[in-house]
Structure 1
């Protein structure tokens, strides 16, 4: 029998595991668009309900269902032995962040025996790489107020100031991926005040990567979409430093 290559043939530079909710249609599409040569993504899905979200209690119910399915989804990646894993969810809107979020990320890494990228650590590192100082932020979320507050804390706990915030109040998990591009472009315009130094989008189900690339060129300041930020961090954590300016300013860092 011929000798088996110890590295994945297509993913010889990195076999990237990616975990996202079943209702999320943006993570796979946007992260697959970001793959450099020699990197492939192995996707796993968290079984989560598609249900109406009209109040904070509904958000908490969706969170609970996703937490219950997360480790089962993670375990489906184990047989392919990923080099690194991206959590395609905002941990703060998943288990509340803080120590609970750190414990969740740690457990995923221990189950798979590899490094893990979560959005919170990724965006903080991205802002440090691009600016290296405290910032005034325009923030876009797809969430209700409870999710907006969790997103705001990510930045305020790091010393930044959220000076403008738009929460789109998507009425269900899957509807996040159905927000019209026109609404997303309008949100950038609304957030782009003279006091805003960077526009940031959170909520991995929102199809914002293409809007961010175009807006960044038009307004002349960084516009950071959640899925590219996480993918950038994961690539750099794996020692892959390819400059890909076509994906935005962050990918030249």
Structure 2
């Protein structure tokens, strides 16, 4: 029998309990016949104002991952989607590979969309070589993001970390702050700008920013959703969330 609403695909999405942006942004980008079903990783201490806090956040995520995936698997998903990004960049390319393998092992071999790999695919599609990055992280998070992209051969011109004090407060970053950050990291030699952090509200602003910057602005939630759709043979074009979903 085919699911009446998810008749094309049912996505299992892993997200932190503190995240209030990724679910509504994914929902806004829905296409007919594709549904998202969330497992939440319990974050008891969301303080991330310093590097120790960022490390502690990852410890909590890793400790709860098995239970989260087990819960998602009870609704029999077709594919797994990461609704958080820091873990997918941590320890560079090899760290992302190991993380994907972990989710595949826990899910019985399902495909996995991660923010890190989605951004890699998008940058290669756009032919970008020199990039700038915006994150909500502290320096240790920024270092891991830069490590990931540098190992792939991209020239990382700048990483602007917003050092948000808590995991919840990432969702409070204003549009004005994000606009100013985009302008700050932009340069004539930068081919594309990447935004990390699934709890930053960026998909619609990225679509707008591409018009006034004249270059790709890759919002991680849009890129991850794009990867999930395309990996599953779903070619629907979606307007309002950046050229990646609109044109590719």
TM class by shorter chain equals: over 0.9
Q: Any gaps of 5 or more consecutive residues in structure 2?
A: none
Q: If you compute each CA radius of gyration, which structure gives the higher value, 1 or 2? A: 1
Q: Deviations along 1:200-249, whole A, 9 cap, x unmatched? A: 10111111112111111222211000111011001011010112243221
Write the deviation string for residues 163-203 of structure 1: whole angstroms up to 9, x where unpaired. 12211000111111111111011111112211111111011
Corresponding residue SS for 2:74: helix
Looking at structure 1, the residues matched to 42 and 89 of structure 2 have their Cα atoms a distance apart, in angstroms, of 14
Q: How far does residue 124 in structure 1 lie from its aligned partner after superposition? A: 0.9
1:81 corresponds to which of 52, 76, 79: 76
The CA deviation string for residues 108-147 of structure 1, in whole angstroms up to 9 with x for no partner, is 223223211111211111112222xx51111101010000
Cα-Cα RMSD: 1.6
The 5-angstrom pairing of residues 180-191 of structure 1 reads: 180-191=174-185
The equivalent of 1:130 in structure 2 is: 126
Structure 2 counterpart SS, 1:227 = helix
Asked if the contact 1:63–1:93 (Cα under 8 Å) also holds between the matched residues in 2, the reply is no
- How many Å separate the matches in 2 of 1:96 and 1:156? 12
- Please say if residues 66 and 94 of structure 1, whose CA atoms lie closer than 8 Å, have aligned partners that are also in contact: no
Among 4, 9, 24, the residue aligned to 2:4 = 9
Q: How many residues were matched structurally?
A: 246
Aligned partners of 1:97 and 1:20: how far apart in 2?
Answer: 20
TM-score (norm 2): 0.93
4+ residue segments displaced more than 3 Å: 91-101
- The answer on whether the counterparts of 1:213 and 1:223 sit within 8 Å (CA) in structure 2 is yes
Corresponding residue number in structure 2 for 1:215: 209
